[in-house]
Structure 1
Amino acid sequence: MRIPYWWPQLGFQVWLIFIGRLISQTGTGFTLFYTTLFFVNQVGLTATQVGLGLGMMAFAGVLGRLLGGSMADGAWGRRSTLILSLAISALGSFGFALSHGFWSFALANLAAGFGQGLYWPPVEAVVADLTTREQRNEAYALNRLGDNLGLSLGAAMASVLVALTKNYRLLFVIDGLTYLAFLALLWLCVQETRVAQPAAEPLLAGWKVALRDRPLWVFALANIFFTTYIAQLSSSLPLYLRKGAGIPEVQIGPLFALHGAIVALLQIPVARWLNRLTRIQGLQGSALMWGLGFGLVWLSGPAAQLGAMPAIGMAALALAVLSLALASYNPSASALVADLAPEHLRGVYLSINSLCWAAGFAVGPLIGGVALDLPPPWAGGLWLFWVASVGLVWGILGFLDSILPCRVNAATVFPPKAAVPLHNAEP
């Protein structure tokens, strides 16, 4: 059996991880938009209590990321750490389903946050272990595709389920069951991928190496900007489109659905095209797209006020450009960190990559919230601020380009345009 050249040439276990991530993120999509609404409107918690619980989740997630990388590189290995993370995440989801007060809600947040923190370093390290450098752009793009599709499917099915049953607790039960489904897939079908070490090391020994890796920390500085940009998509952008551009709420939902669809369609083709470029060139191209997209977001406000162009048209164009920015960022960043990491320390290095996401999603909504509370003419300055920040990101990436080893930053070989036998698809 032969498969076409445009289909990702990846091993069977990479596809299993993709399926598992698709399943688990579908469960996350069930609860993504309903957690706050349910616990405030149905359970009776205050918005402050819900915010405190979510803050506890974020704190537990940081601790999980710190431990998850070391465990994935150590005696636990990738597979066992990933199984443990899914089991804890499932407990957190079932805890939400059983919560009737603040303390049970807080405990569920701690479990869910810690489980998710443990999850990201090993799941990203497994992808690196199972692929060659030439395959990693597409492998990470495929897994991001699974995440995005899962979240979109889950959110769509959740809205139907709530409309039919009004049973919000069922959403959390389904979320927990999807974690257990991924756990079963790992247990039965996926093997350990960690490179054996000659001798056991202390749990946090890998962090000593990572802390001395200057290119890694220069990249982390740029990466916090990228993840802060991504946080704007779910935090500041919907509010600005409603208040600053005057777009009705019923139109904002379809706009973001279109954004998700474009990201899904572009993810694999963009990842393959990025093989022509160095990792830094891919990230610089992504930064340019973020700057252009944020500039178009800013223009949607004046366009609405002047009547020069329908605000929704400008917003749709902006989201299309931001979709390209996101599709080009995802594989480039993860592949760069995986290439930079020693094989036996991929978990620790990728946990630093994951911590950048935690930082960006902590800082981004805060900056956006403060800016959007300003009077309308000044609130739009948020997007000009992000546009200006792209110049700083380019400077950081340019410096990183000068200190990266050639083996990490070189362009990869573009896949040949010919059908490939299926048995040759394994890395």
Structure 2
Amino acid sequence: MDVSSALQLSNRQVQVQALGRFLIQVSYGLLNFYIPILFVNQVGLSATAVGFALSLCAITEVGGHFVGATLADSPRFGRKVVLSLAAASGAVVALMLMVAQSLWLLTLASMMLGISLGCYWTASGAAVMDATTSEDRSQAFAVMGVAEYIGIGLGVLGGSALLTWVDESPTLLFGGCGAMFALFGLLIQVLMTSDYPSRSPHERSGQGMVAALKDRVLLVFMLANVFFTTYVALVSSTIPLYFTNFVAGSDPIPGVSVGSTAGLFTGCYIGVGAVLQIPTTSLLTPLRRIFVLMGAMVLWAFGFALLWAAGTFAEGQFIWAIVALCLLSLASVAYKPFFVATVSDLAPPNLRATYVAVSSQCWTIGYFIGPLLGGWAMDQSPLIAHRFWLVVAMSVSVCLALLWAFEVLHTRTALQPSEGEGTA
């Protein structure tokens, strides 16, 4: 770990946001893992109905991003108020789930969860930007990434362990999530500062959103990052099914099976990401960001190509699968901090939450495209399912072209400040 990374670990406000990220990710992870199991197996709702209810979370999250951005960039409210709102709404969701026995209440809770998510991610990202300088933001977001990985890992493992308690007192899980949301709210109220960049008295909040949506540099960057978020969604939604249905059973080395897929993911994808996030970011920080982003995309391509190899060649499938997951994890930890730091550099200080909200739509789009394409591919013949990963690997070339177009446009805009489009 270099000096800059150590400074981010000692930055009080980064520490507060990292601890909050950990609590939030454990809570969200447990909810996402446990809601389908409880409401299908215990309440008796159909899997289709539960899936539809949960899909509405993504729709309301879009609204949460924009409402959160408007409030977070407002001198009247600010980041701290929006994060407190996210904590309060999350706690309400947990209470609703404790008593929910019907589809309409589950749907309402899912929609409120989306609002909570949107408010949290927008205000949290802006708060980290406020607490750091441009040179230090990559390391700061790397620290946040470690907290995120650990939170997700504990959420997944905790959810798996709590499966054995379903018949006894399943609502205790939601009560625990509510307690963590409350603890997050207390953390924000006590330890977070309420500083935020002041807005011009002649500038209305709606004008900030219009300015962000007119920023061609930001929009091109968003288009490139839709590929990244789609790849992340494919990892979580499609690869487990691929391993289970198209890889397991052909290799004499055990491992890629239903029982071991969760452990394989926790160790090779989540675990590797948690360990390598800060060292990788520290190593790559001196490099030009566009080359870091493009290099990470090349790693995505190699990782997806190895998934094809794992399903195509019978010999050593387990080894190919491990190497593929490790490469995909390394690609993610290399890309994400610099992606967020680049957005922060594009944003004027008084519009940081707005720019985060707009750029966050990459995740909404990616998590719509990824499961849709991946689900279609996994319903096809083994030949198509295997070659699907080669097509995904080749799609990286389009993202590389978009990243280069972004760099050219960004450079031109920086040289013409009078014609700038919202870049810092």
TM-score between the two structures when normalised by the length of structure 2: 0.91
Contact 2:20–2:184 (CA under 8 A) maintained in structure 1: yes
Give the alignment of 1:153-232 within 5 angstroms: 153-164=154-165, 166=167, 167-199=169-201, 201-232=203-234
Rounded to whole Å, the distance in 2 between the matches of 1:42 and 1:260 is 30
Rounded to whole Å, the distance in 1 between the matches of 2:98 and 2:299 is 40
Contact 1:57–1:113 (CA under 8 A) maintained in structure 2: yes
Aligned residue in 2 for 1:44 = 44
Contact 1:86–1:115 (CA under 8 A) maintained in structure 2: yes
Q: Deviation string for 1:43-63 (max 9, x for gaps)?
A: 111112112211221111111
Rounded to whole Å, the distance in 1 between the matches of 2:182 and 2:101 is 23
Question: Shift in Å at residue 352 of structure 1?
Answer: 1.4
Structure 1, 134-143 or 248-257: larger mean CA deviation:
248-257
Question: Shift in Å at residue 404 of structure 1?
Answer: 1.4
Equivalenced residue count is: 403
Question: Shift in Å at residue 4 of structure 1?
Answer: 7.6
Matching residue within 240, 243, 248 for 2:242: 240
Residues 301 and 364 of structure 1, relative CA distance in 2, 3 Å threshold: same
Q: Deviation string for 1:261-288 (max 9, x for gaps)?
A: 1000110011111212122111101100
The answer to whether structure 1 residue 372 and structure 2 residue 378 are counterparts is: yes
Query: 1:244 aligns to what SS in structure 2?
Result: helix
Contact 2:343–2:359 (CA under 8 A) maintained in structure 1: yes
Rounded to whole Å, the distance in 2 between the matches of 1:175 and 1:271 is 31
The answer to whether structure 1 residue 357 and structure 2 residue 363 are counterparts is: yes
Residues 266 and 45 of structure 1, relative CA distance in 2, 3 Å threshold: same
Residues 408 and 234 of structure 1, relative CA distance in 2, 3 Å threshold: farther
Structure 1, 326-335 or 88-97: larger mean CA deviation:
88-97
Question: Shift in Å at residue 254 of structure 1?
Answer: 1.7
Aligned residue in 2 for 1:348 = 354
Query: 1:133 aligns to what SS in structure 2?
Result: coil
The answer to whether structure 1 residue 81 and structure 2 residue 87 are counterparts is: no
Query: 1:33 aligns to what SS in structure 2?
Result: helix
Rounded to whole Å, the distance in 1 between the matches of 2:104 and 2:341 is 40
Aligned residue in 2 for 1:320 = 326
Q: Aligned-residue CA RMSD in angstroms?
A: 1.8
Rounded to whole Å, the distance in 1 between the matches of 2:375 and 2:143 is 33
Runs of 4+ in 1 over 4 A off after TM superposition: 406-409
Aligned residue in 1 for 2:272 = 262
Rounded to whole Å, the distance in 1 between the matches of 2:349 and 2:411 is 16
Q: Deviation string for 1:206-263 (max 9, x for gaps)?
A: 1111122111000000111100000011111001111111231122122101121100
The answer to whether structure 1 residue 290 and structure 2 residue 300 are counterparts is: yes
State the identity as a percent: 34
Aligned residue in 1 for 2:390 = 384
Query: 1:34 aligns to what SS in structure 2?
Result: helix
Contact 1:130–1:193 (CA under 8 A) maintained in structure 2: no
Rounded to whole Å, the distance in 1 between the matches of 2:396 and 2:160 is 37
Rounded to whole Å, the distance in 1 between the matches of 2:311 and 2:161 is 33
Aligned residue in 1 for 2:135 = 134
Rounded to whole Å, the distance in 2 between the matches of 1:276 and 1:4 is 11
Q: Any gaps of 5 or more consecutive residues in structure 1?
A: 410-427
Residues 407 and 180 of structure 1, relative CA distance in 2, 3 Å threshold: farther
Question: Shift in Å at residue 162 of structure 1?
Answer: 3.6
Residue identity in the other structure for 1:301? G
Question: Shift in Å at residue 175 of structure 1?
Answer: 1.3
Contact 1:72–1:347 (CA under 8 A) maintained in structure 2: yes
Query: 2:360 aligns to what SS in structure 1?
Result: helix
Answer 1 or 2: higher relative contact order, Cα 8 Å, separation at least 6.
1
Residue identity in the other structure for 2:90? S
Question: Shift in Å at residue 168 of structure 1?
Answer: 2.4
Aligned residue in 1 for 2:14 = 14
Residue identity in the other structure for 1:9? L
The answer to whether structure 1 residue 249 and structure 2 residue 250 are counterparts is: no
Contact 2:86–2:119 (CA under 8 A) maintained in structure 1: yes
Question: Shift in Å at residue 91 of structure 1?
Answer: 0.8
Rounded to whole Å, the distance in 1 between the matches of 2:95 and 2:52 is 20
Matching residue within 248, 273, 278 for 2:288: 278
Residues 266 and 408 of structure 1, relative CA distance in 2, 3 Å threshold: farther
Query: 1:134 aligns to what SS in structure 2?
Result: coil
Question: Shift in Å at residue 330 of structure 1?
Answer: 1.2
Structure 1, 380-389 or 29-38: larger mean CA deviation:
29-38
TM-score between the two structures when normalised by the length of structure 1: 0.91
Question: Shift in Å at residue 27 of structure 1?
Answer: 2.0
Rounded to whole Å, the distance in 2 between the matches of 1:397 and 1:198 is 32
Rounded to whole Å, the distance in 2 between the matches of 1:142 and 1:260 is 15
Structure 1, 317-326 or 92-101: larger mean CA deviation:
92-101
Rounded to whole Å, the distance in 2 between the matches of 1:356 and 1:165 is 35
Q: Any gaps of 5 or more consecutive residues in structure 2?
A: 249-255, 416-424
Question: Shift in Å at residue 163 of structure 1?
Answer: 2.2
